[in-house]
Chains A and B, each alone.
Chain A
Amino acid sequence: MLADPGVVQALLAGVIVAALCGFVGVFVVMRRQSFAGHAITDVGFTGGAGAPLAGLDPLAGLLAFSVIGSIVMARLGDKIRERDVATGVVLTASLGLGALFLFIQTRYVSQPAALLFGSIFAIRSGVLLTTMVVGAACVIALAILYRPLIFSTVNPETAAARGVPVKFISTAFLLIMGVAVAEAAQLVGVLLTTALLIGPASAAITFSRRVPWAILFAVIFGAVQMTLSIFLAYASYTWPPGGKGWPVSFFLGVLALGTFVIARFFSAGDSRRSESNEA
Chain B
Amino acid sequence: MVKVLDRPVRRGSKLIGYVSQRTVVDPELPLRGRDFVGFGLDGEKWGFSLPSKQRAAQVTEALRAVGALAYADAPVGKLSGGEQQRLFIAQALLSDPKIVLLDEPLSNLDIASASEIVKVVDGLRRSHGVTVLFVTHDINPLIEVMDRVIYLAAGRAAVGPVDQVVREEVLSKLYGYHVDVIRVGDRVVVLTP
Contacts and interface: CB of A to CB of B under 8 A. Distances in A.
A68 interface: no
B177 interface: no
Contacts of B30: 26, 30, 205, 208-211, 213-214
Contact of A205 (B18, B28, B36): B28
Interface string A152-180: 00110111111110000000000000000
A151 interface: yes
A161 B12 contact: yes
A146 B30 CA distance: 14
A143 B48 CA distance: 7
Interface residues of B, number: 36
B39 A151 contact: yes
B46 A155 contact: no
B185 interface: no
Interface in B67-92: 73, 75-76, 78, 88, 91-92
B103 to A, nearest CB: 9
Contact of B31 (A146, A158, A210): A210
A162 B28 contact: no
Nearest to A208: B30
Interface residues of A, number: 30
Contacts, number: 93
A220 to B, nearest CB: 15
Nearest to B35: A210
Interface centre among B25, B30, B48 (most CB of A within 10 A): B30
A148 interface: yes
A152 to B, nearest CB: 8
A259 interface: no
B149 to A, nearest CB: 24
Contacts of A213: 30
A150 B44 contact: no
Contact of B44 (A157, A163, A210, A211): A163
Contacts of A143: 47-48
A155 B77 CA distance: 12
B26 interface: yes
Contacts of A154: 25, 29, 31, 36, 39, 76
A162 B43 CA distance: 8
Contacts of A151: 39, 43-44
B18 to A, nearest CB: 4
Interface in B117-143: none
A214 to B, nearest CB: 4
Given A155-B39, A162-B95, A206 B28 contact: yes
Given A147-B45, A151-B39, A213-B30, A157 B11 contact: no
B141 to A, nearest CB: 23
Contacts of B16: 161
A158 B46 contact: no
Given A157-B23, A163-B12, A164-B12, A147 B43 contact: yes
A48 to B, nearest CB: 34
Interface in A132-153: 143-148, 150-151
Contacts of A162: 12, 14, 18, 43-44, 95
Contacts of B58: none
A145 B44 CA distance: 10
A155 B75 CA distance: 15
Contacts of B47: 143-144, 146-147
B43 A148 contact: yes
A144 B45 CA distance: 9
Interface in A205-246: 205-206, 208-211, 213-214
Interface of A: 26, 30, 32, 143-148, 150-151, 154-155, 157-164, 205-206, 208-211, 213-214, 271
Given A143-B48, A162-B12, 17 more contacts: A30-B30, A144-B47, A146-B47, A146-B48, A147-B42, A147-B45, A150-B31, A154-B31, A154-B39, A157-B18, A159-B39, A161-B12, A164-B12, A205-B30, A209-B32, A209-B75, A210-B31
Interface of B: 11-14, 16, 18-21, 23, 25-26, 28-32, 35-36, 39, 42-49, 73, 75-76, 78, 88, 91-92, 95
